[in-house]
Structure 1
Amino acid sequence: MEDDSENSSLIEEDYYTFLNVPRNATNEEISNAYRRLSRLYHPDKHLDPVQKKEAEILFNKTKKAYEVLSDGHLRAIYDSLGTRGLQTEGWEIVQRTKTPQEIREEYERLAREREERKLQQRTNPRGSVTVNINATDLFDRYDDLDFDKEVPSFFPIVEVSGMSFSQSIEAPLTLRDTVTMSGNLSTHNGTGSGTVNVSVRHLVSDKVWIEGDCGVGNGPVFSFKGFRSFTKRTFGNLTASLHCTPMGIQANLVSMLATQLDTHTTGYLTYRVGGHTAMSTTIVRDTPKSHTSFAIQFGIPHSYLTFSYVRKFEEEKLKLRGTVKAGTFGAVVEYGAEKKVSQHSSLAASVVLGVPSGVTLKLKLVRANQVYLFPIHLSEEVIPSPVFYATVTPLIAWAVIKKLVVDPIAHTEKEREKEKQRQLNKKKMEENKREAKAAVDLMRATFTRVRSEEEAKKGLVIVKALYGRLINQAESRTDEESDSADEVIDVTIPLQCLVKDSKLVLQEASKSQLPGFYDPCVGEDKSLLVQYLFHSNLHEVTTEDSESLRIPKQSHRVNTT
């Protein structure tokens, strides 16, 4: 896994950006871009030995990009896997396949097999820890005298009423067989229990899997599960179990049928027979911005109706939740929020108002595949004070934790990731920097010619172009200081050379791969500032690193009056 993360951080060649063509470019567009750069970098056009050597390197890179993108087979491999797909294995596959689609399918199959082999070499641990806390004495203290104590307790009593621990690991046996071992320990008010389970899942086909499960705890348990996909939109599963207890044998049967109603909506029909007999219908709608579910159940001993809504805020990495549930058992209202605090961790808090259960505050921490849950029972009845404190306390606590803990840790991790990228790409960055400076030197003659032609017809003349971390650059340091800090580079010459017929078009990709460019601040947000003249009028535009750019535009004109 560490190797995979390092490979994903390595800088790869982007042939499309180097030729400044879109990813859906036609062969004609690729050929035109190749001819334009070939005229610029061809070694025969340079007499100076040093420049001739540099030109040869850049010409070979241009030729390589053209060879890959102009060949349907190689382009398919490159589009699927990048430059790593163009190694020896890729060439061998090219020889025994016929079409780009076959190449993609072959590589996807090999990639799946590699992932499955990696999966066999490791387990997939999952676990949860639940700590039940009784804090009802905070808001509803008992007035009865305690005759066993000489002095009554001044502080309210907060106690742990129960705990449970569960853990499971997966061990792939073959590409189609997986064994899962799990265990659970729990205690409540001094009474404890535990279970140990072993299950084996076999993948029969792409549409069917079966699973056998056996366990011990309060008597042996045997179960069988099966899953089948009937159509692209319909699937179902069946679970049958036998639990041997001192009170006798309990049999349970659960069947579920699901169908996709539309792109974002799925319906479920579940029937349960055994200890609890019930039939339920559930509708789930999941979109990038929300998750909505509605369920109704008729059964013994309880029937209920529930509605749940989750609002997703992707940019803030935040989810707001609300649930209403009512039935023969009473009614429950739950509301809360979940915040992703790092790549593998999230925090959640919710308030549960129930009749007759009272008020409960639930705190949850998810770290990778481990879940830590803390239900805190605050009151036996729904009264204003515990509701208020259950709602406000997590918000205040989060603000303090975020300021003192989360933000410093996130900043440290971000800086560590930047430094990791710099170290991994140090050699490549130096190579790209030398290559960019060599390209700029080779472009000077072309720059002079293109600029003179544009000036003569009052066309597009690049006055100044800066690329890198531009935030407050003008206020914080001079151009000379910026260059020394290596956060901003001057790209006036390479941009002018890309001008054709008084137009400049940059594709939607990182501009660090353009000829004459390099990444001056790996891991940082970058921008491109362009000041240019068109029809002798000054224009200016700043664009983000991966945004496309088309100039000239009337909206870029600077009002000098």
Structure 2
Amino acid sequence: MDDEDERLEEDFYQFLNLPRNAPQEEITNAYRRLSRIYHPDKHTDALRKKEAEVLFNKTKKAYEVLSDPHKRAIYDSLGTKGLETEGWEIVQRTKTPQEIREEYELLAQQKEERRLLQRTNPKSSISVSIDATELFNPYEDEYDEFGSDGFPSVVVKGMNFSQSIEAPLTLNDTAFLSGQLSTHKGSGSGSVNVSLRRITSPDGWAELEMGFGSGLSFAAKGFRNLTRRIFTNVSGIVTSTDRGLTLGFVSTLAHQLDKNTVGYLTYKASGPSSMSTMVVKDTSRYRAQVNFVLGIPHSYFAITYCHKLEKHEGRLRGAIKAGTFGAMVEYGLERKVSEHSSLAVSMTVGVPTGVMLKIKLSRGNQIYNFPIHLCHEVLPSPIFYGTVTPMVAWIIIRRVVVEPYIQQQKVKDIERHRAVHHSQMLARRREAEISIDLMKETYRRIVEDEENRKGLIITKALYGRWLDLSHRDLGDAITDVTIPLQCLVKDSKLILHEASKCQLPGFYDPCMGEDKSLYVQYSFHGVPHEVTIQDTDPLRIPKQYKGMFNLNCYCFSFLFSFTTPPLS
């Protein structure tokens, strides 16, 4: 759907200041509270009566939808569009809310199936192997005619290209087409594979594959959940070459040990045979992996640890691997460049491979790998320059290129979004101004009642861009919401739920697309307080302290001990 056809969604729950699981009684009470403010009969002036009628009709519409179980089920599933979209009329009034939800899920599933038919989901990977060992060659060639004045050469010694697309035929059947082309030191090879995967049940799938390359190959693969915690993956392949038929077999048995830990046992009989055991622990903060492989001709032991940075901004990774082939240590960092792109840099130091710098750029479904071989031996200089140079280069590029580009794109997206919804935003701003004007009499009454009981009084409330709130500067990106917030006070309490505040009565979005906050100054029992929350955070004032009850009980017991005569 184009942006020009988009419409700002109305949130009936937030307009009535209700949680999404609100019972009928709370819905009715919220409707009655707003009806006292917006009902046309409450106003004598002709203009105010007309303006109040518009807001009263909006209140009435929200109440009618949320108080009707059928309409509420539709609204909860699809929003206001579900109440108006043609084609949903097949839902009969005799159906229960649960049946309505199931009907909508079926239609949504059919829509998703049609969408899948038009989707290919292409994926590609490009790898360029670079030999830069002459940069750190500790030995001089005595036969080099240029001597020390010659420039070291950097050579591309290999390249690999792979591309794949998937063609969903139905929700259960998917066809795959992939190709690979590689070259190394002047010789190349390639292959093309076609496969068909079918989801046989909720617990498994089966796949058949045919490949063309150095020979003709046929493969069969399968996945199956054996129990709730155990699953297996099996594949077998037959390849026809000039030397005859070769057989291959790989089988993996996995067991989920706990919520975040999975153990794998793999047997491989294709090419070099091996038996491996792997345990992976993946949490929200880190991913740790231990792997032991016993095979012919090589066996090894590996430990990998990956620390996840906050807000999914990147990962720190370290690995140690040792076996019959030698030993190696790897460390690196992965950072997000943009919403869909990430850059990873790692250093590998080991024997007999030497020192290697790996750079990987991921953008959407495209991956670009650049392994750079710096030195055949383990020397301090390639390790130092291979570690420091990418860090310095990344800092410069991020400051000079990435951050300005991201900020520029963010500004463009906000401007485009505002341009699309400009007329609706003006209408909502005007609606908020009218709503505040109609609330003034109710506001004065609530303030008077709260003052008499020394209750909760909102002295100042600002809503808008965080920077403006911090400077208390009332500008275009911030609005005064003292009156509408006070009108939400009931029994000396103010409760706002976990949702954007821009659709509360008397509110509007003064800075669409930007981060917003709500700043509140209030007095309770004559004591001033202030609080600032993010736009979607819940708010409850005055705050309730768990220790207050215990403190009151302690004070009462202390006074009671002085006023009660001792027992004889």
TM-score w.r.t. structure 2 length?
A: 0.90
Residue 12 (1) aligns with residue 14 (2): no
- Alignment partner, residue 57 of structure 2: 60
Whole-Å separation in 2 of the counterparts to 1:288 and 1:460: 40
Which among 518, 532, 540 is matched to residue 528 of structure 1? 518
Any idea what SS the aligned residue of 2:171 has?
coil
Whole-Å separation in 2 of the counterparts to 1:56 and 1:6: 29
- Alignment partner, residue 460 of structure 1: 456
Whole-Å separation in 1 of the counterparts to 2:146 and 2:453: 102
Which among 253, 260, 263 is matched to residue 257 of structure 1? 253
Pairwise CA distance, 1:301: 1.7
- Alignment partner, residue 538 of structure 1: 528
Q: Which amino acid aligns with 1:288?
A: S
- Where do 1:399-548 residues align within 5 Å? 399-472=395-468, 475=471, 479=474, 482=475, 486-548=476-538
Which among 195, 200, 206 is matched to residue 204 of structure 1? 200
Whole-Å separation in 1 of the counterparts to 2:41 and 2:541: 33
- Where do 1:56-455 residues align within 5 Å? 56-88=53-85, 89-90=87-88, 92-93=90-91, 95=93, 97-100=95-98, 102-146=99-143, 149=145, 154-315=150-311, 317-455=313-451
Counterparts in 2 of 1:94 and 1:306: CA distance versus 1, 3 Å: farther
Counterparts in 2 of 1:4 and 1:275: CA distance versus 1, 3 Å: farther
Whole-Å separation in 2 of the counterparts to 1:73 and 1:235: 41
Q: Deviations over 1:227-272 (max 9, x none)?
A: 2222332222211111222233211011112222221112222111
Whole-Å separation in 2 of the counterparts to 1:164 and 1:140: 27
Whole-Å separation in 1 of the counterparts to 2:73 and 2:477: 35
CA contact (8 A) 1:77 1:90 kept: no
Q: Which amino acid aligns with 2:341?
A: S
CA contact (8 A) 1:494 1:516 kept: yes
CA contact (8 A) 1:436 1:517 kept: yes
Counterparts in 2 of 1:150 and 1:458: CA distance versus 1, 3 Å: closer
Pairwise CA distance, 1:476: 8.6
Pairwise CA distance, 1:141: 4.9
Which among 23, 33, 38 is matched to residue 36 of structure 1? 33
CA contact (8 A) 1:309 1:322 kept: yes
Q: Deviations over 1:317-367 (max 9, x none)?
A: 111111111122111211111111111100000011121111100000001
Q: Deviations over 1:484-509 (max 9, x none)?
A: xx211111111121122222222221
Pairwise CA distance, 1:439: 0.9
Whole-Å separation in 2 of the counterparts to 1:284 and 1:152: 50
Counterparts in 2 of 1:295 and 1:551: CA distance versus 1, 3 Å: same
Whole-Å separation in 2 of the counterparts to 1:60 and 1:40: 12
- Alignment partner, residue 550 of structure 1: 540
Any idea what SS the aligned residue of 2:388 has?
helix
CA contact (8 A) 2:141 2:147 kept: no
Counterparts in 2 of 1:190 and 1:205: CA distance versus 1, 3 Å: same
CA contact (8 A) 2:113 2:170 kept: no
Q: Structure 1 stretch 105-114 or stretch 333-342: which is displaced more? A: 105-114
Whole-Å separation in 2 of the counterparts to 1:390 and 1:4: 47
Pairwise CA distance, 1:422: 1.1
Q: Which amino acid aligns with 2:352?
A: P
Whole-Å separation in 1 of the counterparts to 2:266 and 2:457: 69
Q: Deviations over 1:261-298 (max 9, x none)?
A: 22111222211113121111211111111111112121
Whole-Å separation in 2 of the counterparts to 1:517 and 1:153: 73
CA contact (8 A) 1:10 1:421 kept: no
TM-score w.r.t. structure 1 length?
A: 0.91
Q: Which amino acid aligns with 2:488?
A: L
Q: Which amino acid aligns with 1:349?
A: V
Q: Deviations over 1:379-414 (max 9, x none)?
A: 111121111111111111110110111101110111
Q: Which amino acid aligns with 2:61?
A: K
Counterparts in 2 of 1:354 and 1:73: CA distance versus 1, 3 Å: farther
Counterparts in 2 of 1:297 and 1:109: CA distance versus 1, 3 Å: farther
CA contact (8 A) 2:328 2:348 kept: yes
CA contact (8 A) 1:458 1:535 kept: yes
Cα RMSD for the two superposed structures:
2.2
Pairwise CA distance, 1:5: 8.3
Structure 2: runs of 5+ lacking an equivalent: 546-568
Pairwise CA distance, 1:153: 5.6
CA contact (8 A) 2:468 2:477 kept: no
Counterparts in 2 of 1:104 and 1:449: CA distance versus 1, 3 Å: same
Q: Which amino acid aligns with 1:242?
A: V
Whole-Å separation in 2 of the counterparts to 1:233 and 1:107: 32
Q: Structure 1 stretch 124-133 or stretch 34-43: which is displaced more? A: 34-43
Q: Structure 1 stretch 77-86 or stretch 205-214: which is displaced more? A: 77-86
Pairwise CA distance, 1:4: 8.2
Pairwise CA distance, 1:14: 1.6
Structure 1: runs of 5+ lacking an equivalent: 556-561
CA contact (8 A) 1:507 1:547 kept: yes
CA contact (8 A) 2:462 2:469 kept: no
Pairwise CA distance, 1:6: 8.4
Pairwise CA distance, 1:87: 3.1
CA contact (8 A) 1:146 1:152 kept: no
Counterparts in 2 of 1:470 and 1:301: CA distance versus 1, 3 Å: closer
Q: Structure 1 stretch 22-31 or stretch 299-308: which is displaced more? A: 22-31
Q: Which amino acid aligns with 1:501?
A: D
Any idea what SS the aligned residue of 1:66 has?
helix
Pairwise CA distance, 1:34: 1.3
Counterparts in 2 of 1:175 and 1:366: CA distance versus 1, 3 Å: same
Whole-Å separation in 1 of the counterparts to 2:340 and 2:72: 35
Any idea what SS the aligned residue of 1:315 has?
helix
Pairwise CA distance, 1:378: 0.6
CA contact (8 A) 1:528 1:544 kept: yes
Pairwise CA distance, 1:316: 5.7
* Percent sequence identity over aligned pairs: 56
CA contact (8 A) 2:464 2:510 kept: yes
Counterparts in 2 of 1:442 and 1:531: CA distance versus 1, 3 Å: same
Q: Deviations over 1:179-198 (max 9, x none)?
A: 21111111111111111111
Q: Which amino acid aligns with 2:391?
A: L
Q: Which runs of 4+ in 1 moved over 4 A?
A: 4-7, 88-91, 149-153, 472-477
